[in-house]
Structure 1
Amino acid sequence: MVAHKTVAVAAGLGVMGLHRNVIHPKFGSFVLLVTVLVDAEVSEYGQALDYTPCIDCKLCVAACPVGAIAKDGAFDALACTTHNYREFMSGFTDWAQTVADSEDAADYRSRVTDSESASMWQSLSSPPGYKSGYCLAVCPAGEDVLGPYLDDRKTFMDTVLRPLQDKKETLYVLPGSHAQEYARRRFPHKPVKEVTGGWHPPAKRSASPDRETRTS
């Protein structure tokens, strides 16, 4: 396992932004990282950047539908993964359990919408899709992408940020979480659905008759 973002920052390719993605000085957040491991001596190592291309616009904060990114830089990784990675392994496990728990087709449809079923099917037939890459979509940092934001911030907000905020979509949250409270308060028009994230505590094993006799 290689943490590509950590390697990229150490190599001087960019810095980690508020949204926890690498921001390249020229290309901004619109980069795809890969790490090449070599068993050889190198003559020179890259150096981390001594400045940040992040312009501290906080648009990633405004765009996140589950409040995973805070203005002060705090990051709720669990809120992000629960929603954004809904159709990866943890969300798939949760969905499979919903299928198993459903009494019949009607009961299943009362638990899972047609659009959710279609989205899960699509992820099963191709690489899983992210539910919300909004923090990347709205990030204006980087020499090649900064211009439209600086030229007309209102138009940028109206055409890039607000359509994502206004979009009606299901938000996946853990019960009783900050993400649940934030989503309901900040985006009341977006349906909020409680999920487990695929994680369940292990079932309690009942004591054997012999043990019950010994401890009674």
Structure 2
Amino acid sequence: MERFPGRIWVVSHKTVAVAAGLGVMGLHRNVIHPRFGSFVLLATVLVDAPVSAYGRPLDYNPCVDCKLCVAACPVGAIGKDGAFDPLACTTHNYREFMSGFTDWAQTVADSEDAADFRDRVTDPENASMWQSLAFKPSYKSGYCLAVCPAGEDVLGPYLDDRKQYLDTVLRPLREKTETLYVLPGSAAQRYAERRFPHKPAKEVSGGWRPPGRHRQDPGPA
């Protein structure tokens, strides 16, 4: 955490929300609210004052165990057995956040000239990164949230006609042609190439700097 400016991720909203009884952590590692399902935005307020009562975790799990988040994830970050690959998720889904931007900036620096850079980065990728810098970063694959039917207010269509739900919600995401960002030789790369051959898998560094690769300050000449 100390490596990053602004000390991001100091508070985990999801963990706080679960402890407060707002929901339960789902298989997709997002909080599932009993009424609104995965369609919630979380924020945390820290106070240095006594409180009269504390929330308690829910005593039941609103997850319906449909495994649609497993089927929707294009990089195999979510396992049927409950396993989760955070690096696979971060590398692809958070491509336009700090780690992906760092990787994009490294590509700019490593390119010999403009033609070399354009060979490495497509126009749509540049446009997407530019938009994220001009407005705000967007998630590449919030599919686990999009397909999740859990929650009283959103469960109906799934229970009424599961085939229709799969055809209209899940299938378009699986059939979509899009670039998947993966670490070289990773399980995510193998999964993407096997399950989604129509989605180009692009090897990236993820923006993470390996230990011991910090360039030393040469000091004054």
TM-score relative to the length of structure 1: 0.92
In the alignment, which of 36, 55, 60 is matched to residue 51 of structure 1?
A: 60
**Which residue of structure 2 lines up, in the alignment, with residue 193 of structure 1?**
202
**Deviation per CA, 1:121-179, whole angstroms, max 9, x where unpaired?**
00110111111100000000000000000001111101100100001000000001000
For the structure 1 residues 33 and 203, does the alpha-carbon distance in structure 2 shift closer, same or farther, using more than 3 Å as the test? closer
- Aligned partner of 2:179 in structure 1 is 170
Residue in structure 2 matching 1:129, options 113, 123, 138: 138
Provide the C-alpha distance between the structure 1 equivalents of 2:12 and 2:215, rounded to a whole number of angstroms. 38
Percent of residue pairs identical: 83
Structure 2 counterpart of 1:83, from 86, 92, 105 = 92
Residue 21 of structure 2 is aligned to residue 12 of structure 1: yes
Which stretch of the first structure deviates more once superposed, 97-106 or 170-179? Answer: 97-106
Which secondary structure state, in structure 2, belongs to the residue aligned with residue 115 of structure 1? helix
Distance (Å, rounded) in 2 between the aligned partners of 1:179 and 1:203: 24
Partner Cα distance (2:103, 2:17) in 1: 33
2:156 equivalent in structure 1:
147
CA distance in 2, matches of 1:81, 1:204: 22
Q: What is the deviation of 1:203?
A: 4.1
Q: 1:155 to 1:205 in 2, by over 3 A?
A: closer
Give the TM-score, by structure 2 length.
0.90
- Secondary structure at the aligned position of 2:181 is classed as strand
Residue identity opposite 1:148 in structure 2: P
CA-based RMSD: 1.4
For 1:37 and 1:205, how far apart are their aligned partners in 2?
A: 38
Alpha-carbon displacement from aligned partner over 1:55-96 (angstroms, at most 9, x marks no partner)? 000000000000000000000000000001111111111111
Aligned residues: 206
Equivalent position SS for 1:172: strand
Rg larger for: 1
Letter in 2 for 1:56: D
Question: Which residue does 2:116 correspond to in 1?
Answer: 107
Distance in structure 2 (CA, Å) of the matches to 1:107 and 1:36: 47
**Aligned mate of 1:31, from 30, 40, 43:** 40
Instruction: Look up the match of 1:209.
Output: none
User: Structure 2: 5+ residue runs without aligned partners?
Assistant: 1-9, 217-221
SS in 2 for 1:193: strand
Distance 1:166 1:142 in 2: 26
5+ residue gaps, structure 1, are 207-216
Structure 1 position 204, deviation (Å): 8.6
Deviation at 1:200, TM superposition (A): 3.3
Q: 1:41, CA displacement in angstroms? A: 1.4
> SS state of the match for residue 150, structure 1?
helix
